[in-house]
């Protein structure tokens, strides 16, 4: 049977071709469609309404795949109808064009396809991220690492949320375990012009939006310190505990910078955490001329900065910085010993995954690092100076120009807000009717500008200041005087030469060096002066050379592996188009694509079609699972969104003892407390025991908590077990509990007609998470959250941010998806999966799953009765097989505790030697909940296409290395 499956693999699932050639052809199309053009000679956009655009591009995903010529035609249409954000006349968002070197870094990131979770799988990336964080800490005048710390996040909204979580943990550490229930409400403070992410975070983290105090601003849009003092006093009088102040350095609409030194003094006096949202204004710190506008930033406890705003790093690139040593780790660590083992052979302080709320994070450091390396701090500072000087020029140009009026008399950042008053309205009495007419005219001019296509500039209201619509222009850095296409082609050549695309298995998976050794091989340091293009290419070569080759067929270390070539083409398209997934206006093609893949995913799960069911693409499975918990809470007690968890009985949730640690992290972040997560026993195959679930629900009620959420797992992290979904669904229905399925790993089985029955009952759930980047081979990250109930995503998450989600737009605003997300802008993750699905077809994807699963079965049967091997579980349901290798010297011996301890230590030692040898990477894990020590975990993924030969090689290599001991 396996031979029949593999014989069909070339035609359906693994069209054999040269990956580099495909990507180079894609770059040519993008250049032809003016995606890299910065001259301003061509339109910014050729706008079509959604119904018109759907007629131009064949978006439908079908059972059968497309040939390469169709794929290239589709890529051309994507580029043609996408907004050219690198255009000189794109001033519509707080992001804009990308620096060419940063784009090269993004291409390296996509092709290397790894996560900065452990040093073992991302050695070069971990060094780069630490250097970058240390450089930015110094920029802010925080202590150097490790006395201060930081992390890269999937956008500024999440960065601000980190600040709030650390502030809460610093104030009341017990909240991590006990939750917010029973405490007095905690209150926080932000400018009336601050970003709406603070309000969304207050909802998600369990504080309640009613406990966010909005502080008045002055005539320049800056927070009023006296009103802050008054509100802190009022909050205490209302019986809340003030704990967090968010100052803004660069407000979203008008770019105002709050008086940071004054706010710092108040926070010190009142013992409040001082966070600065410098997502926009943080770039000014690079300029010796303008950095004083952020005077006082060094007095903060934490800060957010988005180099993808203003500076020109590709989306998304966001940093969260914190002054206090170890606080990120203390607040977020999970104790997930199956991933963050302490008996590794290298310095585990370089493993950063457990200080993050995510498990795997998108690698965002390389693009900013390569840009900084090329430009130098001085070059980046100069680009900021140029942008700010242009903003000043524009301000002075319209200040006294006939027909223009400034909204504020002065601006501190790179945004200028104004009205254009046509001749017919000048000199007229400025009645309310006159103003209403001007507001409507502003929206109409905006519409005509978009339809004309040569200039994109935003319009916004400021409802808190009773300003309905004004135009806003943003000035950005670009710094591109090089041939972007040529640079990217040269980068692809280097990656190819370094075997990043190789799937033959003829070259090593990794050339491992310890951190101190690797630091000597690569010039990681960022300096004031930039580097030559040759030095940049040399850096790219070394990054590729010492990175793990995840597309090597002998990489079985993680739940992800190689990337599908068409998926990689989609990722490259995403990076070059550089837009954010929140409004149709800035991402028209991508909004259509996301809805198409969501509808296909809903169909796979047997949910109703959109809009009766809904979904969203998220930055990883941990966030997808968190969405499930937030929606379950909102569905059960909607008032928590505004009132928070304080004063309520504790809410309790239930998950398998082998479930992913993201459930525990979510319980901490969302304010439930980890003590209210009940872990359910599993059977001999690692599946949740329904009777123990019933018992724990009863016990939770007896303890005075409110059960509300059950997380079943379809593909547990270590052993791939699939919980009995139908039995759990029946219990949830009987007990009136939300039924969520973490199918991040196992969801891919739904594509296979042969294996999808292993997820029987998935259609009975309320929500599902699925990561196509696991097993299927979509580039990292690609994660779905799907929900059965219509409009619930929007109802739970909407913020009413009218300055972004205006309802008077000229197109169908139901295509604007940003307000159903906890993030503001989201990375465009739909294209890579859509292009891969379009090329392969559902049948081709299903066949790739069949091949991987048949190879996993082959491996299982090969070791089941093989001398020297022992299975951890007698049977497996997914694509992971767990086992021990017992060397000849230990066979036939009494299996005492000492014998087992020796075997556990030997497993770690064999793993070490495998890594140092570099020909095979395979994971090892303990299961502490079941009192099982280290064993090997073999993961079989769809990309690159596995074979019997690659399975046999893994066994031969383990035995070869073990015999060296």
734-783 pLDDT tens trace: 999 999 999 999 999 999 999 999 999 999 999 999 999 999 999 999 99
User: Which pLDDT does position 813 carry in this prediction?
Assistant: 87
Residue 460 binned pLDDT confidence (cut-offs 50, 70, 90): confident
pLDDT surpassing 60 at residue 580: yes
Distance set, CA 94 to CA 99, 133, 242, 312, 587 (Å): 15, 22, 31, 10, 14
Residue 806 binned pLDDT confidence (cut-offs 50, 70, 90): confident
pLDDT surpassing 80 at residue 500: yes
Class of the CATH domain delimited by 841-962: alpha beta
**Average pLDDT for 8-20:** 53
d(CA 282, CA 156): 12
**Average pLDDT for 576-588:** 93
pLDDT surpassing 60 at residue 13: no
**Average pLDDT for 486-510:** 97
Q: What are the percentages of helix, strand and coil residues in the chain, rounded to 5?
A: 45, 15, 40
Q: Look over the chain and give the mean of its residue pLDDT values, rounded to a whole number.
A: 95
User: Which pLDDT does position 718 carry in this prediction?
Assistant: 96
Q: Kindly give, in sequence order, each residue whose CB lies less than 8 Å from that of residue 868, ignoring residues fewer than 6 positions away.
A: 885, 886, 887, 888, 891, 959
pLDDT surpassing 90 at residue 477: no
154-199 pLDDT tens trace: 999 999 999 999 999 999 999 999 999 999 999 999 999 999 999 9
Compute the half-sphere exposure of residue 283: CA atoms within 13 Å on the CB side of its CA: 34
d(CA 281, CA 273): 20
Q: Kindly give, in sequence order, each residue whose CB lies less than 8 Å from that of residue 303, ignoring residues fewer than 6 positions away.
A: 140, 163, 275, 276, 277, 278, 282, 297, 320, 321
Cis ω before 435 (30° cut-off from 0): no
Residue 25 binned pLDDT confidence (cut-offs 50, 70, 90): very high
Residue 24's Cβ-count burial label (10 Å; 0-12, 13-18, 19+) is middle
Q: Where are the domains of the chain?
A: 841-962
Residue 10 binned pLDDT confidence (cut-offs 50, 70, 90): very low
CB 619: neighbour CB atoms within 10 A? 23
User: Which pLDDT does position 8 carry in this prediction?
Assistant: 37
Residue 338 binned pLDDT confidence (cut-offs 50, 70, 90): confident
DSSP-assigned beta bridge partners for residue 249: 257
Q: How many residues does the chain have?
A: 965
| Start-to-end Cα distance in the chain | 38
pLDDT surpassing 80 at residue 591: yes
pLDDT surpassing 70 at residue 70: yes
Are 201 and 209 a contacting pair, CB within 8 Å?
no
289-299 pLDDT tens trace: 999 999 999 99
pLDDT surpassing 50 at residue 1: no
- Taken in order 595, 596, 599, 604, is the CA torsion positive or negative? negative
**Average pLDDT for 25-48:** 96
**Average pLDDT for 594-603:** 97
82-104 pLDDT tens trace: 999 999 999 999 998 899 999 99
User: Which pLDDT does position 887 carry in this prediction?
Assistant: 97
DSSP-assigned beta bridge partners for residue 233: none
Q: Phi and psi of 414, rounded to 5°?
A: -100, 15
User: Which pLDDT does position 869 carry in this prediction?
Assistant: 98
**Average pLDDT for 566-592:** 95
DSSP states of 832-861: HHHHHHHHHHHHHHHHHHHHHHHHHHHHHH
254-294 pLDDT tens trace: 999 999 999 999 999 999 999 999 999 999 999 999 999 99
In what helix (H) or strand (E) does residue 743 lie, and over which residues does it extend? none
392-411 pLDDT tens trace: 999 999 999 999 999 999 99
**Average pLDDT for 423-428:** 96
d(CA 760, CA 755): 10
User: Which pLDDT does position 468 carry in this prediction?
Assistant: 60
927-940 pLDDT tens trace: 988 999 999 999 99
CB 45: neighbour CB atoms within 10 A? 25
Residue 17 binned pLDDT confidence (cut-offs 50, 70, 90): low
Distance set, CA 854 to CA 73, 276, 505, 751, 956 (Å): 35, 52, 20, 15, 19
Are 309 and 318 a contacting pair, CB within 8 Å?
no
Residue 469 binned pLDDT confidence (cut-offs 50, 70, 90): low
User: Which pLDDT does position 808 carry in this prediction?
Assistant: 75
Give the percent of the chain with pLDDT over 90: 91
Lowest mean pLDDT among 10-19, 435-444, 899-908: 10-19
User: Which pLDDT does position 807 carry in this prediction?
Assistant: 73
- Write the DSSP symbol of residue 896: -
């Amino acid at each position: 049977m396996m031979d029949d499956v593999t014989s069909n693999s070339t035609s359906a699932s693994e069209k054999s071709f040269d990956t580099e050639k495909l990507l180079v052809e894609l770059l040519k199309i993008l250049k032809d469609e003016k995606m890299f053009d910065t001259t301003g000679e061509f339109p910014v956009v050729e706008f079509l309404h959604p119904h018109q655009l759907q007629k131009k591009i064949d978006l439908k995903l079908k059972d059968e795949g497309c040939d390469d010529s169709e794929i290239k035609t589709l890529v051309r249409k994507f580029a043609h109808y996408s907004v050219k954000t690198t255009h000189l006349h794109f001033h519509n968002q707080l992001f804009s064009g990308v620096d060419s070197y940063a784009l090269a870094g993004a291409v390296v990131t996509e092709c290397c396809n790894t996560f900065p979770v452990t040093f073992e799988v991302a050695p070069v990336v971990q060094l780069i991220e630490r250097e970058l964080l240390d450089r930015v800490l110094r920029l802010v005048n925080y202590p150097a690492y490790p006395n201060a710390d930081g992390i890269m996040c999937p956008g500024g909204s999440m960065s601000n949320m980190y600040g709030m979580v650390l502030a809460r943990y610093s104030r009341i550490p017990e909240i991590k375990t006990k939750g917010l229930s029973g405490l007095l409400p905690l209150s926080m403070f932000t400018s009336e012009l601050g970003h709406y992410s603070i309000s969304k975070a207050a909802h998600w983290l369990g504080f309640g939006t009613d406990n966010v105090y909005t502080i008045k601003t002055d005539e320049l849009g800056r927070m009023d310190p006296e009103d802050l003092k008054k509100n802190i006093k009022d909050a205490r009088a209302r019986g809340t505990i003030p704990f967090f102040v968010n100052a803004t350095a660069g407000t979203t609409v008008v770019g105002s910078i709050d008086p940071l030194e004054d706010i710092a003094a108040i926070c010190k006096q009142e013992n409040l955490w001082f966070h600065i949202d410098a997502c926009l204004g943080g770039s000014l710190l690079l300029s010796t001329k303008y950095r004083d506008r952020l005077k006082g930033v060094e007095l903060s406890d934490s800060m957010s900065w988005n180099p993808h705003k203003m500076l020109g790093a590709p989306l998304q690139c966001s940093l969260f910085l914190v002054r206090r040593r170890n606080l990120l780790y203390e607040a977020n660590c999970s104790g997930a010993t199956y991933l963050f083992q302490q008996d590794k052979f290298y310095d585990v302080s370089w493993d950063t995954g457990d200080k993050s709320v995510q498990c795997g994070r998108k690698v965002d450091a390389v693009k900013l690092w390569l840009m900084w390396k090329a430009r130098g701090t001085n070059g980046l500072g100069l680009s900021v100076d140029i942008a700010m000087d242009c903003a000043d020029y524009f301000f002075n140009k319209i200040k006294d120009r006939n027909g223009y009026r400034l909204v504020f008399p002065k601006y501190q950042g790179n945004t200028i807000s104004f009205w254009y008053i046509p001749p017919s309205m000048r000199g007229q009495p400025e009645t309310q009717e006159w103003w209403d007419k001007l507001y409507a005219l502003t929206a109409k001019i905006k519409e005509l500008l978009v339809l004309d296509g040569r200039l994109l500039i935003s319009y916004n209201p400021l409802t808190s200041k009773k300003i309905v619509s004004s135009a806003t222009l943003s000035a950005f850095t670009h710094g591109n005087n090089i041939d972007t296409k040529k640079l990217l082609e040269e980068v692809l050549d280097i990656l190819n030469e370094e075997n990043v695309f190789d799937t033959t298995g003829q070259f090593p998976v990794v050339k491992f060096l310890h951190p101190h050794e690797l630091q000597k091989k690569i010039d990681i340091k960022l300096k004031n002066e930039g580097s030559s293009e040759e030095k940049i290419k040399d850096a790219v070569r070394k990054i590729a050379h010492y990175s793990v080759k995840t597309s090597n067929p002998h990489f079985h270390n993680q739940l992800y592996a190689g990337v599908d070539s068409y998926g990689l083409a989609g990722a490259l398209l995403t990076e070059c188009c550089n837009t954010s997934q929140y409004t149709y206006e800035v991402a028209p093609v991508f909004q259509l694509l996301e809805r198409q893949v969501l509808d296909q995913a809903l169909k796979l799960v047997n949910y109703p079609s959109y809009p009766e069911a809904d979904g969203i693409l998220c930055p990883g499975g941990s966030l997808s699972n968190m969405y499930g918990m937030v929606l379950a809470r909102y569905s059960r007690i909607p008032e928590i969104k505004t009132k928070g968890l304080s004063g309520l009985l504790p809410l309790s949730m239930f998950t398998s003892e082998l479930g992913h640690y993201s459930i525990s992290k979510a319980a901490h972040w969302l304010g439930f407390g980890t003590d209210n997560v009940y872990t359910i026993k599993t059977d001999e195959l690692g599946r949740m025991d329904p009777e123990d679930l019933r018992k724990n629900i009863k016990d939770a009620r007896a303890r005075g908590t409110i059960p509300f959420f059950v997380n079943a797992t379809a593909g547990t992290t270590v052993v791939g077990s699939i919980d009995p979904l139908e039995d759990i669904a029946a219990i949830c229905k009987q007990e009136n509990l939300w039924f969520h399925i973490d199918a991040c790993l196992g969801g891919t089985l739904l594509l296979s007609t042969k294996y999808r029955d292993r997820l029987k009952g998935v259609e009975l759930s309320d929500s599902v998470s699925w990561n196509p980047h696991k097993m299927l081979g979509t580039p990292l990250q690609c994660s779905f959250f799907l929900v059965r109930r219509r409009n619930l995503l929007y109802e739970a998450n909407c913020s009413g941010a009218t300055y972004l989600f205006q309802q008077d737009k000229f197109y169908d605003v139901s295509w604007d998806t940003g307000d159903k997300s906890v993030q503001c802008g989201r990375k465009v993750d739909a294209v890579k999966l859509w292009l891969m699905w379009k090329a392969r077809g559902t049948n081709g994807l299903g066949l790739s799953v069949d091949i991987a699963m048949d190879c996993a079965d082959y491996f299982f049967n090969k070791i089941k009765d093989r001398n020297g091997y022992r299975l951890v579980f007698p049977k497996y349901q997914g694509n992971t097989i767990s086992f021990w290798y017992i060397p000849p010297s230990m066979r036939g011996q009494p299996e005492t505790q000492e014998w087992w301890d020796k075997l556990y230590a030997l497993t770690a030692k064999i793993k070490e030697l495998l890594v140092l040898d570099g020909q095979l990477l395979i994971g090892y894990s303990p299961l502490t909940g079941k009192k099982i020590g280290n064993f090997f975990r073999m993961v079989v993924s769809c990309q690159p296409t596995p074979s019997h030969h690659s399975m046999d090689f893994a066994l031969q290599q383990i035995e070869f290395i073990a015999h060296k001991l």
